[in-house]
Structure 1
Amino acid sequence: MRKNILFVINPISGGKSKKRVEQLIIDNLDHEKYEYEMAYSNAVDHARKLSRSAVHLGFDTVAAVGGDGTVNEVAKGIMSINANAELGIIPFGSGNGLARHLRIPMDVKKAIDVLNQNTVKVIDTATLNGEPFFNMAGVGFDAHISAMFAHNKKRGLSGYVKSVFRELNNYNSDDYELTVDGKSMSKKAFMISFANSTQFGNNAHIAPLADISDGLLDVAIVKPFPFYQFPMLAWRLMSGTAHRSAFVEVIKAKEIKVIRKENGAVHLDGEPKMLNGQIDIKIRPLSLKVLVPSL
């Protein structure tokens, strides 16, 4: 029997045109394996609603065509009714962190072929104050940049890099009270990432040893550092050696509580949110099926 798949296409993700996507899906999807439909998201939260409706109607797979934010929305829709449906990913965003971690190709035709291979991997997911995330969440500088970038009309890697350099010199590290699996600690941090996968996106690996199916999050604490050390930290991110830096501490954990002196931004899979008070992060082991490349 053929599977039913819905492609949820975000027309603005990554600042990239999606004009050719429909035809690429038609030309490259294995029609002996799939019956397909396509839908375009047109507002905040619309991708989640489309995904939820598809699963409710009995679709076997919902494929997110977009970046990590679109993947987040589609995956939330799948999980909102505790379904057995599978998540597919056609990467089309600025960073594509989860897709890159899962080795899903950035080339659209090759990503569609991953769907055709029909290989399922069960991965962990996590929540921040009850809100799901699938790749990475964080507080501090990366959340600050996500909030700035959300208002940037120029999407893509170049716009993100410009935001980083514009804000880097003016950003002050914060004090955090952490409870990590019941153990209390105080940390002054430039940023703290709660990593399900190894990377933010664009192959910038903040937690190179993270395992997306081990039932643990990697809490990557970036300590305050002198400005001249930024190039070295950036090199470590891109070379997969951040955990070896004197300015990075990584702790594996199932539950994390964070209290900070001032309210501010957090991000969930790159999408910013303003939160007050305590932040609670929890892992949900082996809770989502994803289509990945065959070994």
Structure 2
Amino acid sequence: MAKSNILFIINPISGGKDKLTIPDLIDAYLDRSKFNANYRFTSYAGHAAEIVDETVSMNFDIIVAVGGDGTINEIGAKVMHQHKVLGIIPYGSGNGLARFLKIPMNTRKAIEVLNHFQVSKIDTAIFNDKVYFNMAGMGFDAHISSIFAKNKKRGFSEYLKTGLKEMINYKPETYRIVVDGKSYTRKAFVVSVANSSQYGNNAHISPLASVSDGLLDVCIVKNFPLYKIPALAYYMLSAKTHQTDMVEIITGKNIQIFREQEAAIHIDGEPFLMGKEINISIQPLSLQVIVPGHI
């Protein structure tokens, strides 16, 4: 049987974790009877996408993102358009999509998932002109992403410290949200449009979300007093946000969001500046991903 050619694209700074030994781990645990392995390290933002573009004329069947949700986004968008298969070795701060897909956080076990080569198709989404796979949105979480991107320190603890510092002065915004033609006006702290259930670190904003149902979940975190932060954290970490009136979840396929001013948004955790009008749509079962089991 012919071997598959597999390219590992490694983001050396994602999650604040050292990845120089990853090629050695892959050499030790990847099934060489099935795969020929190659490696590339990224050097700057956008480099991963450039590397995938360079492989168009090369015979790579599988491209593996070694990093967090941002790295997966950059690589996955290209892999999807090339109709190739995406693999994931999670090395980010939150690893939202990997956790949802039940890909192990342990590197050796994640490599073993690649060895079994079970491929499933998942939904993707378009946020204005940008593709995403896990989570996108606006409000406080996007504000934090834009600040955190400038921080040289990485990791969940740094993200948490930034969030707590900024929360005191953040002012909620009024949004008009149109879901499959039905309009809602809400004053919100966060508006997230979820493909999977969680941001990362098992913090679930939409516990019943699925990456294979052809729907997106619009999650509206309502304005709340600061003393309710522990309650919101409890609901998210116990995957019960659909059971609290602090969060409203509306499902649909085509979403428009109108807001008061141009501001930060985030797409799979990466910050961007966008205007007052956002258009979001689902692309059912459009990306092939190696997963450990049924999703």
TM-score bracket, shorter-length normalisation: over 0.9
1:115 matched to 2:93: no
Q: 1:197 & 1:294 partners in 2: Cα distance?
A: 16
Structure 1 segment 1-295 matched on structure 2, within 5 A:
1-79=2-80, 82-294=81-293
Deviation of 1:58 after TM superposition, in Å, equals: 2.7
Moved segments of 4+, more than 6 Å: none
Deviation of 1:294 after TM superposition, in Å, equals: 3.4
Q: 2:9 & 2:231 partners in 1: Cα distance?
A: 39
Secondary structure, aligned partner of 2:9: strand
- Using the aligned pairs only, state the percent identity: 51
Q: 1:192 & 1:149 partners in 2: Cα distance?
A: 19
1:127–1:84 Cα change, 3 Å: same
Superposed CA offset, 1:219-277 (max 9, x none) = 10000011111100001100000111111000111011111111100000000001113
Amino acid at match of 2:268: D
Amino acid at match of 2:13: I
1:56–1:234 Cα change, 3 Å: farther
1:56–1:259 Cα change, 3 Å: farther
Superposed CA offset, 1:144-165 (max 9, x none) = 1101110111100100110110
Secondary structure, aligned partner of 2:54: helix
Deviation of 1:56 after TM superposition, in Å, equals: 4.0
Deviation of 1:53 after TM superposition, in Å, equals: 2.5
Deviation of 1:55 after TM superposition, in Å, equals: 4.2
Secondary structure, aligned partner of 1:200: strand
Deviation of 1:83 after TM superposition, in Å, equals: 2.6
Check the 8 A contact 1:114/1:294 in 2, yes or no: no
TM-score, normalised with respect to structure 2: 0.97
Q: 1:257 & 1:284 partners in 2: Cα distance?
A: 16
Check the 8 A contact 1:55/1:85 in 2, yes or no: no
TM-score, normalised with respect to structure 1: 0.97
Q: What is the count of residue pairs matched by the alignment?
A: 293
Secondary structure, aligned partner of 1:65: strand
1:178–1:235 Cα change, 3 Å: same
Deviation of 1:43 after TM superposition, in Å, equals: 1.3
CA RMSD for the aligned pairs? 0.9
